[in-house]
Structures are given as C-alpha cells and as structure tokens.
Amino acid sequence: MVSELITDFYNEDPIKKGEKGMKTLKKFFPSFVFLFSLFFYQNIVFGGGAMEISTSAFKDGGEIPIQYVMPGAGGKNISIPLVWRNTPSGAKSFDLSIVDIHPIARNWVHWLVINIPPQVNSIEEGASKKKMPPGSLELKNSWGNIGYGGPEPPKGTGDHSYVITLYVLNVEKLDLSPGASLSAFKKAIEGKVIASASITGKYGR
C-alpha cells in the first residue's frame, strides 16, 4: 500500500503535486513560526548570546578563596581575575565594581575601575596597581586606598555577598577623580549603560 502511494505521487500531475506541497506548507507553517519565535525568545531572554562575566577563582555564588581577602583576615589581598564575553555592539568602554551588599557593610566598595577600553575582555589576577588595562583608572575603595581591597568582614556577621558587576558604557571616558565615591560613580554612569553582567562571591568569618 505504501509503495502504491509513493508510485501514485511520482506519477501524479506536477501541478497537483505543487498544490499538495502548498497545502502541506500552510498546514505546518504556523508550527514552524512558533518554534522559530520560541527559539529567538529564549536566546534573547534566557542568556543566549547575552554578555557574561566570570572568574577562574570561584563559581558564581561560591566562596572567595583566601588569597583574595585582606591580610587582616589571613589573605594576601590579590585582586580577582576576571573575564567577560559577548560584548554588545556600541560598547565604548567598561566600568567595574565590587561591592559588599551585606546590611552591616552598607555597600562597602572593594574595587572601582573606570574607562576600561572596549577591546579589553579580561583583567588578570593581581593586576590591581600593577598590570591594569592601559587607559583604565582605579578609584579609591572603602578602605581608603586606590585599587582592589579584598574582603575582611567583621567576625560573627556570617557570609557577606560581594557583587562583581561589569558595566558596558556608550561613552569612552568618565570624568571622575580617583577619590570619587560609589554614589558619584553611579550618578556618572546614569544614562550611559547599554548592558551589564554580574557574579557574586561569598566570604564570611
């Protein structure tokens, strides 16, 4: 029976075959459109091609290793290595922040970097004050020092969340002094951010 249907199809008039093909296309076209739209939506909304930032030091939500914390907490205060990908078009510079959002810390700044060139896609381990991307500018942290200042949360306050955020700006440079505060930084980037990506590290004592 199947062989007869195949034979009938190949012997059928070309015009009728074309009509059958159009009917089949019309039948399955809505499903095709739906699946294509779903795929496109998932890629846009759920991270397909979205900008990402990561570190080889720990997984997102994981514990920050001891070498990256302050000497007062037993560490070496080595700045965290970072890498990012899928930068959107229109990027003219990057800005970076690491902020402790614990209620006791009250947005304690551990690292602020501005004016990172758009062709840069990483910052190596221990780069702070030594091997920063040319043109970038490190600002003061809440410890009162320029550059990276690692975690040293008060004992007994539990895990603190250190949010690392990379901002993509549509301007080449921010006009901020090295002593600019976090609030001044946030005000300076208003209306200039075209994308951002974050990860969080945990550390407690």
Q: What is the pLDDT of residues 64-74, one digit of tens each?
A: 999 999 999 99
> Which CATH number is 92's domain given?
3.90.280.10
Average pLDDT, the chain: 86
111 shares a domain with 31: no
Structural domain total, the chain: 2
Strand order from edge to edge, sheet including 108-116: 137-138, 108-116, 93-100, 159-169, 193-204
Q: Would you say 68 and 79 are in contact if contact means Cβ atoms under 8 Å apart?
A: yes
Q: In sequence order, what DSSP letters do the residues of 117-159 get, joined into one string?
A: -TT--EE-TT-TTTSPPTT-EE-B-TTSSBS-----PPTTS-E
> Which residues form the domain of 34?
2-45
| pLDDT tens per residue, range 191-204 | 999 999 999 999 99
Can you read off the two tokens belonging to residue 111? 């690292």
Mean pLDDT of the region 113-121: 98
Give the global pTM: 0.77
26 shares a domain with 83: no
Residue located via tokens 């080595």: 78
Mean pLDDT of the region 150-163: 98
Nearest to 96 by CA among 69, 115, 119: 115
